[in-house]
Amino acid sequence: MTVKISSIGLKGLEGYRVQVEVQISPGLQSMVIVGLPDASVKGSKERVLSAVRSLECGVEIQKIAVNLSPSEQKKNGPLFDLAMVIGILKEMNHVKVEISQGTAFIGALSLDGTIEKVEGMLPALIAAAGLGFNRVFLPYDPLIPFELLEDIECIVVHHIQDVLKHLSGQVLLSLEKVPTIVEQSNPSYEFHKDFYHIIGHEQVKQALEIAATGGHNVLMSGPPGCGKSLLAESFPSILPPLTKHQQLEVISLYQLAKEKLQHPQTPPYRHPHHSASSVAIIGGGSYPRPGEISLAHHGVLFLDEMAEFTKKTLDMLRQPLETGKVTISRVHSTVTYPASFILVGAMNPCPCGYLGSNTYYCTCTPKQVQTYRNRVSGPVYDRIDLLLSLKPVNFDKGGRKPELSSEIRRHVMKAQERQFSRYQEQVCNAKVPFEILTKSSPLTDQIAQVSSKQHWSNRVQIKIIRLTRTISDLSAENPITDESIWKAIQLRWNLTDAMNKNKT
């Protein structure tokens, strides 16, 4: 007879059902694990056998065969220890009750039968409901936000005896009995940088509000010290808080990357140095881990001095910017991580930084300027919606009273609610499929006329259409207006015009 116990395997952030099949026959004591196990899974043999012996179950004259199905999928990590030991005990008739297919077991084992937490339990729990599980036995992990998990019953266990007692109906363990529950982040978290403290740059602030509303990518160009970094650091303060589902995804990615996440409810903000390697930015390694673009999922990736990043690294951003995910292929495995982020780039107009300045003399030759700009390739420029040119601010000149980030955030959330209502899902204008965008928002001929004169690529034309829709949403206008079209074109022309004037 063969016993089948369910568990959950991981391929990157994606979970899949694993059937742990156990068969015991008379013979010399041995345990064989098949089904493409890696070294960490093969190491489960001694842990499982020692845990079974700790329960005073005789396995001295037993030959144990364990198959991890599906056999063609490579298994990694000690997630299956608990499922294997339950399968062995069930096959030896120490567990007499039937275990449903809707129950999964995940966790590693100590030699004395204690159940230990392992890496990747949160992604496995998130995938559990979609795989048809309604109950999961697992060890307690203080980093798992149990209060955010829905449609799944989490049975927290500390020892194999706890599992056996629960299965036999002697003790009902519940999450409320766990001594400590992860506390939610303070929803009134105060950002260190606020738009209210930024003097001037009113047009740039409006452009960043548009970017936050529709999820559009931004590139700012200007001389050193004009406020590019300050604006980028303040940008997360106008983004809406993450939903429960988004929080779970972000927490999972940070746990897989072994990074600390300070405030799970706020959109993540990543600011890698331009000397970072392409593996650090994109992700990778022998056993692929999430990179900076995945750690910025549902948040902001700020590339300061964007032209100083290697051209190879910037070009590797093209697929994630288009699809919202990144696929990493290595000898051991191929994994896909989500990477849907808002790219905010900042760069100088030339190598010395003072091209077009009224106060400093630029020492760069035209060839040096062109070579510097070409470090960011045309396809990367095409994937950026807002091209902004910044100038130093004169503190003596008064301007209108700046808005608090919290006020701007309310405008952004209202405009996003219009998008969610229009598309019947939580997706912004920059990410929604183009056919759905055009179906819900008929276009005018003005964009086509301007595009034909400027010889824009199809991708740039689509970016302007998405930008136009966002500007109309911020103005609470359902149809796309002519005013929003021209405003979107100006935001696209802003940097291009400045560059062309500086050349002459």
Provide the edge-to-edge strand list for the sheet that holds 153-156.
30-34, 62-69, 14-26, 3-11, 103-105, 135-138, 153-156
pLDDT in tens, the chain (504 residues): 789 999 999 988 889 999 999 999 887 778 899 998 888 888 899 899 888 888 877 766 788 999 999 988 888 889 999 999 999 999 988 888 899 999 999 999 999 999 999 888 999 999 998 899 999 999 998 888 888 888 889 999 999 999 998 888 876 555 544 443 344 444 456 788 889 888 888 899 999 999 999 999 999 999 988 889 999 999 999 999 999 999 999 999 999 998 988 888 999 999 999 999 999 999 988 778 899 999 999 999 999 999 999 999 999 999 999 999 999 988 777 889 999 999 999 999 999 988 877 778 888 999 999 999 999 998 999 899 999 999 888 766 555 677 899 999 999 999 999 999 999 999 999 999 988 888 887 765 666 666 666 667 788 888 888 999 999 999 888 888 778 888 888 887 655 544 444 444
Q: What CATH code is assigned to 3-177? A: 3.30.230.10
**DSSP 3-state percent helix, strand, coil across the chain (nearest 5):** 40, 15, 40
DSSP state of 385: S
Q: Letter for the amino acid at 74? A: K
Q: If we measure between CA atoms, which residue out of 344, 278, 350, 338 comes closest to residue 314?
A: 278
Q: How far apart are CA 22 and CA 2, in angstroms?
A: 6
Cα–Cα distances (Å) from 49 to 4, 60, 84, 87, in that order, read: 18, 10, 10, 12
Q: If we measure between CA atoms, which residue out of 411, 498, 488 comes closest to residue 447?
A: 488
Cα–Cα distances (Å) from 365 to 64, 280, 350, in that order, read: 75, 34, 9
Strands, DSSP E only, in 142-241? 153-156, 218-221
Residues forming CATH 3.40.50.300 domain(s) in the chain: 195-503
Residues forming CATH 3.30.230.10 domain(s) in the chain: 3-177
Q: How far apart are CA 470 and CA 484, in angstroms?
A: 9
Query: Each residue of 85-94: pLDDT tens digit?
Result: 999 999 988 8
* Residue whose token pair is 């099949």: 21
Confidence at residue 212, expressed as pLDDT on a 0 to 100 scale:
96
| 64: phi then psi, degrees, rounded to nearest 5 | -105, 125
Query: Each residue of 349-369: pLDDT tens digit?
Result: 999 988 877 778 888 999 999
Contacts of 101 (CB under 8 A, 6+ apart): 6, 132
Strands 135-138 vs 108-109: parallel, antiparallel or unpaired? unpaired
Q: How far apart are CA 367 and CA 221, in angstroms?
A: 18
Strands, DSSP E only, in 27-132? 30-34, 62-69, 103-105, 108-109, 115-116
| 88: phi then psi, degrees, rounded to nearest 5 | -65, -45
Confidence at residue 397, expressed as pLDDT on a 0 to 100 scale:
56
* Residue whose token pair is 């995938």: 127
| 484: phi then psi, degrees, rounded to nearest 5 | -70, -30
Q: How far apart are CA 484 and CA 475, in angstroms?
A: 9
Contacts of 371 (CB under 8 A, 6+ apart): none
Q: What CATH code is assigned to 195-503? A: 3.40.50.300
Strand partners, 151: none
Confidence at residue 262, expressed as pLDDT on a 0 to 100 scale:
83
Query: Each residue of 283-338: pLDDT tens digit?
Result: 988 778 899 999 999 999 999 999 999 999 999 999 999 999 999 988 777 889 99
Confidence at residue 320, expressed as pLDDT on a 0 to 100 scale:
94
Which contacts of 115-120 are long-range, i.e. CB under 8 A and separated by 24 or more positions? 115/82, 115/139, 115/157, 115/158, 115/159, 115/160, 115/162, 115/163, 117/141, 118/77, 118/78, 118/79, 119/77, 119/255, 119/256, 119/258, 120/10, 120/77, 120/79, 120/255, 120/256
DSSP state of 150: -
Q: What angle do CA 273, 278, 281 make, to 5 degrees?
A: 60
Confidence at residue 174, expressed as pLDDT on a 0 to 100 scale:
52
Q: How far apart are CA 125 and CA 147, in angstroms?
A: 12
DSSP string, 239-303: SPPPPHHHHHHHHHHHHHTT---S-TTSPPEE---TT--HHHHHEETTTTEE-HHHHTTTSEEEE
Confidence at residue 494, expressed as pLDDT on a 0 to 100 scale:
54
CB atoms within 10 A of CB 182: 16
Structure tokens that stand for 233 in this block: 């650091």
